[in-house]
Structure 1
């Protein structure tokens, strides 16, 4: 029986880094940066005003708080003006936020500290020298790294990329993931159920999980429990896939079509991992394409994806930190766990305390939908009292 870490290493080794491609900024949201992006320009690009007010020489206006100072307004400087002229002694320039600071100015007096004059202004107060100025390059200098490889590209990262002059970004191509659920008992949601049939849900669950991890999912539905037909169907679809993820057909019983079919090829290894849920696992290649086989119970499939597939996909995408956030938490109530297996229990995390959601059964989909974390119980722990500290893995998209 493999440890969790041993099987994680096997899965990680199957997925190399995705190829690099350059995409426009508008298409880069949610992607992962493949190479460092260097700032083409400094930010700010020039000395500018942080306030609407009056650019002045502090030596001339610094005493305005004790006695108002009246000076002529020699220039108006709106944002975007490019022909900014020297601030002559004995004058001020009316200036807008973001407008370039005139040479000679060393303070901006906010308009609220004046009478707002346009020809002559009365300054009634003055901040310290250097106030309300944004100096060129104080945010980032030209030629320095603006965004590091491995950074997920959210709104703020794309805003920075645009601000330093980038029009496109080098990212890792999203892996194309074929998602396959097996079982002759499976029926499409909405159809009439005959005795012994169930609605197929794993492909919906896993396709959404692939998408959230950054991959491009494609579902292949209802491959029947027939080895020859299964292999023919799968091999016909693999040419356009970077990874195949299956659910079901990997346990120790009869009619385990995934295990029976792939064992004939000799390129996929099956076994058990010391964890619950999700013990039966398989990994290998078919026609050179990585294959990861997950158990069929929905909770087992979800937990297995979280533990093995999601971090491997994110690593292939170049994420600097491919794992979910782990935090310590105190148990709201006692729990029990089987010896020799790492337990991943569904839980609700709130303010440093975690409550178990439902029992350990791998069929409890409604309980899974209400969970926002996985409670991790080590293999050598068989019970914990209320108040004990545990590690929890925060998962996203849970219902409240």
Structure 2
């Protein structure tokens, strides 16, 4: 059997590199920036006031007191977008508004509520230090500084940082198109009526939502019945960067995915992971194809362990880390396979999400989990207090 790490490496080796294009900031929300966004100018681009008040020279009011206030002549006014071009000389002040350019000669701002203003004069009753209420040029970022790093998924705050830096357009990775199909004569769409031996399909709903959550564009290839030719036709005609199939990939007599795709370039094998042992991987007409088991928990686990990293590689997004957590309950592990257990995560540690553990059929119980714990293949059991690798769901 191939280890999960080896299989992931093979999956990633088939993924195309990120497809780059340039978009306006207005269209960039949720996309991944492909190159560092750097400030075009210093931020702020000039010394300015953080208060409404008066721009002064700190030395002029160094000896001001309530009993001996210093009178300064008001010689100009600087407003936001309308800087005063004069210079504050000794014994002078300039009216200034929040965000306005600090006039030449001035090195501090006194809020208007701290002075007594008369016609053409202000009285200052206490000293101020140089730099008081002054926002210095470049204190947020210097020209050329990185304000949004490559690989960042752009949120509103990142767009604001780019805009404040004078950047109108950014280079991003194009969201990959990931097609998916589910197979099985036993599947009925939710809301339908179950016949003998049939079950409701949950994999299509899961994959559509999971792929969207990962930042891909889901492409629904539908439910394909258990006919190998139909599977091959659906996969061959997919307009996608990656195709994900579920079900029909094992060694049974009615495994249409394996029967339909093995001769087209997909290798089917066992991966040392539980759940998710039977899988397929290859290319059909140049498009990578990842074939997953059909049981819902196995699908969710394999999306987190294999498909999620594949999508992130095509988007240029770093892989989230698995963190060490303490087991709060004991549980058994399968022999010679890495176990991926749905768990509930708390500040104290983790415990299995359901009494059924990592059973691949427990679709309804999967909703109780916060994430997954990974247990290495050599372990037969996890005991209370053991450390396991844990990550919250990324999809």
**TM-score, normalisation: structure 2:** 0.93
Which of 325, 333, 336 pairs up with 1:337?
A: 333
Cα-to-partner distance string for 1:50-99 (whole Å, 9 max, x where unaligned): 23332110001233356533323333322222344222321222222221
Structure 1 residue aligned with 2:28: 28
**Equivalent pair of 1:324/1:395 in contact (CA under 8 Å):** no
Measure how far apart 1:258 and its partner are: 0.6
Structure 2 residue aligned with 1:248: 247
Measure how far apart 1:118 and its partner are: 7.3
Which of 380, 383, 389 pairs up with 1:382?
A: 380
Structure 1 residue aligned with 2:42: 42
Matched, 1:146 2:154: no
Measure how far apart 1:361 and its partner are: 1.0
Cα-to-partner distance string for 1:137-194 (whole Å, 9 max, x where unaligned): 2222223333332222122221111111111111111111111111111111111111
Structure 2 residue aligned with 1:111: 112
Deviates more, 1:41-50 or 1:117-126: 117-126
SS, match of residue 40 in structure 1: coil
Structure 1 residue aligned with 2:352: 356
Structure 1 residue aligned with 2:322: 326
Measure how far apart 1:24 and its partner are: 1.0
Measure how far apart 1:31 and its partner are: 1.0
Matched, 1:170 2:174: no
Structure 2 residue aligned with 1:58: 58
Structure 2 residue aligned with 1:262: 261
Measure how far apart 1:105 and its partner are: 1.1
Measure how far apart 1:272 and its partner are: 1.0
SS, match of residue 131 in structure 1: coil
**Equivalent pair of 2:337/2:376 in contact (CA under 8 Å):** yes
Q: Distance between the aligned counterparts of 2:323 and 2:124, measured in 1? A: 54
Structure 1 residue aligned with 2:221: 220
Return closer, same or farther for 1:111/1:12 CA change in 2, 3 Å cut-off: same
**Equivalent pair of 2:297/2:358 in contact (CA under 8 Å):** no
Q: Distance between the aligned counterparts of 2:292 and 2:258, measured in 1? A: 11
**Equivalent pair of 2:272/2:336 in contact (CA under 8 Å):** yes
Measure how far apart 1:112 and its partner are: 4.2
Structure 1 residue aligned with 2:93: 92
**Can you give the 5+ residue segments of structure 2 that lack an aligned partner in the other structure?**
none
Return closer, same or farther for 1:248/1:64 CA change in 2, 3 Å cut-off: farther
Cα-to-partner distance string for 1:334-375 (whole Å, 9 max, x where unaligned): 222123111111112122422220122112223221211211
Measure how far apart 1:268 and its partner are: 0.6
Matched, 1:73 2:74: yes
Measure how far apart 1:396 and its partner are: 4.7
**Equivalent pair of 1:41/1:141 in contact (CA under 8 Å):** yes
Matched, 1:365 2:363: yes
**Equivalent pair of 2:83/2:103 in contact (CA under 8 Å):** no
Return closer, same or farther for 1:372/1:125 CA change in 2, 3 Å cut-off: farther
**Can you give the 5+ residue segments of structure 1 that lack an aligned partner in the other structure?**
none
Which of 258, 276, 279 pairs up with 2:277?
A: 279
SS, match of residue 180 in structure 1: strand
Q: Distance between the aligned counterparts of 1:278 and 1:127, measured in 2? A: 69
Q: Distance between the aligned counterparts of 1:244 and 1:255, measured in 2? A: 21
Count of aligned pairs: 392
Q: Distance between the aligned counterparts of 1:278 and 1:46, measured in 2? A: 59
SS, match of residue 91 in structure 2: coil
Deviates more, 1:35-44 or 1:182-191: 35-44
Return closer, same or farther for 1:317/1:71 CA change in 2, 3 Å cut-off: same
**TM-score, normalisation: structure 1:** 0.92
Q: Distance between the aligned counterparts of 1:61 and 1:378, measured in 2? A: 71
Return closer, same or farther for 1:280/1:127 CA change in 2, 3 Å cut-off: farther
**Equivalent pair of 1:328/1:390 in contact (CA under 8 Å):** yes
**Equivalent pair of 2:19/2:314 in contact (CA under 8 Å):** no
Return closer, same or farther for 1:361/1:101 CA change in 2, 3 Å cut-off: same
Matched, 1:302 2:303: no
Superposed, 1:131-210 pairs within 5 Å as: 131-210=132-211
Q: Distance between the aligned counterparts of 1:186 and 1:125, measured in 2? A: 81
